[in-house]
């Protein structure tokens, strides 16, 4: 039978439940166990697709087109398993389903209440993930913090869950903070209160993970165990890690994987964490500095471009490089009109986004990359900015644009997809999920992938206007990736440029720490060559072969 591990958080938000849950998944997978993940978010939005990145960070897209929480990106990267839209549950989804059932009369006239109707719907979604994934373990992260009113239905549901499936099949892991006070001490009182709050709901945590900014000594662990009624060995210290990719081995070394397997009565092989330790060595030994500019309008919150930044790191580490990401505000480029933030870069990434704000700064970054032969990678809107920039050069004026930014432009080189013209609702109505792309032989894209057809994840409403293919082709643009019917442009690149490539899709969602995405690997390869050509990297330093 499938086992269930529920991860809750206390004291404060942003403790790193997602990284902890992902790392636990990684060390369980290293034991040969099949792991599936579920993130339960207590907000009333149906999904984060319509939320500002400043509210929620990036929107991660699954293979089947689900717009989901960014923690699903961590899950996929750490357990190396593609998830589905069912792996992200929100209160909006729950109430939508409950109200729809009430309207159909499914409840046979009963008064619809949080208990049992809402909690039953939550439990059914947990069972659905277990059933569809056929996994040995389902890791369920409960968003928010214990004590939040929004989280109460979820906590009640997971309390009931242990009685439903049997105590031996459920484990509760509670993540808390040991804050440091002015005297320099780490204090356990907030943890005690958090556990007390959880126990008042009816949940006794089996394992406590104690976050701190330094090592947690045995005396503190014993105190936590005594006051929170948890076995001492089940109080797991989790000090700040040198990298998020060091957390799996850190948690393994303090025994978390062994304890979970023992508590759930699972049969598992000895953990094989060789790949994670190799990755750690690769990160620690990265010596060649690379300056990569990430040009976006949400750079004040790096989580808005989380998967992009991680993909750059994965590829850089595989090349023996230390990535130094320069966060460049596209609005600053737009307002100031200068290119000073772009000077000295070894590579430029122009990521996705929506709306006209900051777009001209992205166009300016694309122009700088093209004219100065700096390796440039455009993602989704980044491709569109590349097209707009070259079209303006080809036409000899600044009129070319996307109808998203200028509805009355005389040269709509980027336009709304035909099937999007009658769409009125914003949520979940874009071109979403995995679609095939046919690569043209002899192109940068084909060389990077090493295969003729690829499947990549999309999230867009606007697309290249085919009326401008011939014009841009005469100015060096190659349409190196197309949809199978040839109707949609998926990849553009320039002929006489070391690396100038844009994708309409989001390759960052498929990069893995042990297996960088081919396009990011090719981009970093070109950035390294550019750095060496300009005397900004040690030409004699050994370069590790990129992991494919």
Q: Indicate whether 61 and 10 sit together in one domain.
A: yes
Q: Indicate whether 343 and 232 sit together in one domain.
A: no
Q: Indicate whether 406 and 473 sit together in one domain.
A: yes
Q: Indicate whether 473 and 382 sit together in one domain.
A: yes
> What's the CATH code of the domain at 159?
3.40.50.300
Q: Indicate whether 266 and 294 sit together in one domain.
A: no
Domains in the chain, number:
2
Residue 124 in domain: yes
Residue 323 in domain: yes
Residue 176 in domain: yes
Token output for 170: 């459920």
Q: Indicate whether 16 and 143 sit together in one domain.
A: yes
pLDDT of residue 162: 96
Residue 144 in domain: yes
Residue 450 in domain: no
The last residue of a domain, from among 243, 278, 313: 278
The last residue of a domain, from among 236, 259, 278: 278
Q: Indicate whether 251 and 318 sit together in one domain.
A: no
Neighbours of 322 (CB within 10 A): 14
Residue 372 in domain: yes
pLDDT of residue 541: 44
The last residue of a domain, from among 245, 278, 311: 278
Q: Indicate whether 316 and 216 sit together in one domain.
A: no
Give the integer Cα–Cα distance in Å for 485 and 428: 24
> What's the CATH code of the domain at 398?
3.40.50.880
Q: Indicate whether 87 and 210 sit together in one domain.
A: yes
8 in Cβ contact with 61 (< 8 Å): no
pLDDT of residue 419: 77
Q: Indicate whether 212 and 296 sit together in one domain.
A: no
Q: Indicate whether 239 and 294 sit together in one domain.
A: no
pLDDT of residue 183: 85
Q: Indicate whether 41 and 120 sit together in one domain.
A: yes
Whole-model pTM? 0.93
Half-sphere exposure of 193 (CA within 13 A, CB side): 10
Closest residue by Cα to residue 435 from 487, 475, 385: 487
pLDDT of residue 418: 80
Question: Helices in 265-419 by DSSP H: which ranges?
Answer: 274-284, 306-318, 330-336, 359-371, 381-395
pLDDT of residue 476: 95
DSSP secondary-structure letter at 488?
S
Question: Which residues are the active-site residues?
Answer: 380, 506, 508
pLDDT in tens, the chain (548 residues): 899 999 999 888 888 899 999 999 999 999 999 999 999 999 999 999 888 888 889 999 999 999 999 999 999 999 999 999 999 999 999 999 999 999 999 999 899 999 999 999 999 999 999 999 999 999 999 999 998 999 999 999 999 999 999 999 999 999 999 999 888 889 999 999 999 999 999 999 999 999 999 899 999 999 999 999 999 999 999 999 999 999 999 999 999 999 999 999 999 999 999 999 999 999 999 999 999 999 999 999 989 999 999 999 999 999 999 999 999 999 988 877 778 999 999 999 999 998 889 999 999 999 999 999 999 999 999 999 999 999 999 999 889 999 999 999 999 999 988 878 777 777 778 889 999 999 999 999 999 999 999 999 999 999 999 999 999 999 999 999 999 999 999 999 999 999 999 999 999 999 999 999 999 999 999 999 999 998 887 644 444 443 33
Cα 205 to Cα 104, 176, 228, 466, 535: the distances in Å are 38, 11, 9, 58, 56
Residue 424 in domain: no
- What domain range is 225 assigned to? 3-278
pLDDT of residue 54: 87
């Amino acid at each position: 039978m499938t086992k269930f591990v529920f991860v809750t958080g206390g004291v404060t938000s942003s403790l790193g439940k997602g990284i902890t849950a992902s790392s636990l998944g990684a060390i369980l997978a290293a034991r040969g166990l099949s792991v599936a993940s579920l993130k339960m978010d207590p907000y009333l939005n149906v999904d984060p697709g319509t939320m500002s990145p400043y509210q929620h960070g990036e929107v991660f897209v699954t293979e089947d087109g689900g717009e989901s929480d960014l923690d699903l990106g961590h899950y996929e990267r750490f357990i190396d398993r593609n998830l589905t839209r069912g792996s992200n549950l929100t209160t909006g989804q729950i109430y939508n389903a409950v109200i729809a059932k009430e309207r159909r009369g499914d409840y046979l006239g009963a008064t619809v209440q949080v208990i049992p109707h809402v909690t039953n719907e939550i439990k059914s979604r947990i069972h659905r993930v277990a059933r569809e994934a056929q996994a040995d373990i389902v890791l369920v992260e409960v968003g928010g913090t214990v004590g939040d009113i929004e989280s109460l239905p979820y906590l009640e549901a997971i309390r009931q869950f242990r009685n439903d499936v049997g105590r031996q099949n459920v484990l509760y892991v509670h993540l808390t903070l040991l804050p440091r006070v002015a005297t320099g001490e780490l204090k356990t009182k907030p943890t005690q209160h958090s556990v007390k709050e959880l126990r008042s709901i009816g949940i006794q945590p089996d394992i406590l993970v104690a976050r701190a900014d330094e090592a947690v000594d045995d005396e503190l662990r014993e105190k936590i165990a005594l006051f929170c009624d948890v076995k001492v060995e089940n109080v797991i210290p989790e000090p700040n890690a040198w990298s998020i990719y060091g957390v799996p081995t850190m948690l393994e070394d303090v025994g978390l994987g062994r304890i979970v397997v023992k508590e759930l009565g699972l049969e598992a092989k000895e953990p094989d964490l060789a790949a994670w330790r190799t990755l750690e060595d690769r990160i620690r030994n990265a010596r060649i500095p690379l300056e990569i500019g990430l040009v976006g309008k949400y750079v004040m919150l790096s989580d808005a471009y989380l998967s992009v930044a991680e993909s750059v790191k994965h590829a850089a580490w595989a090349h023996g490089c230390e990535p130094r990401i320069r966060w460049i505000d596209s609005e600053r480029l737009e307002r100031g009109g200068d290119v000073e933030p772009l000077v000295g870069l070894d590579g430029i990434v122009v990521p996705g986004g929506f709306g006209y704000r900051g777009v001209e700064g992205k166009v300016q970054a694309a122009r700088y990359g093209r004219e100065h032969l700096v390796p440039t990678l455009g993602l989704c809107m980044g491709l569109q900015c590349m097209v707009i920039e070259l079209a303006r050069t080809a036409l000899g004026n600044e009129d070319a644009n996307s109808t998203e930014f200028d509805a009355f432009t005389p040269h709509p080189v980027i336009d709304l997809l035909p099937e999007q013209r009658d769409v009125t609702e914003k949520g979940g109505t874009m071109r979403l999920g995995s679609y095939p792309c046919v690569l043209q032989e002899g192109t940068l894209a084909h060389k990077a992938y090493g295969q003729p057809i690829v499947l990549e994840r999309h999230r867009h409403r606007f697309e290249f206007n085919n009326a401008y293919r011939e014009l841009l082709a005469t100015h060096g643009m190659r349409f190196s990736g197309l949809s199978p019917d040839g109707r949609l442009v998926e990849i553009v690149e320039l002929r006489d440029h070391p690396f100038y490539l844009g994708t309409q899709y989001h390759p960052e969602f498929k990069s893995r720490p042990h297996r960088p995405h081919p396009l990011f690997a090719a981009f970093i390869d070109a950035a390294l060559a550019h750095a060496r050509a300009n005397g900004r990297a040690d030409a004699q330093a050994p370069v590790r072969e990129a992991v494919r």
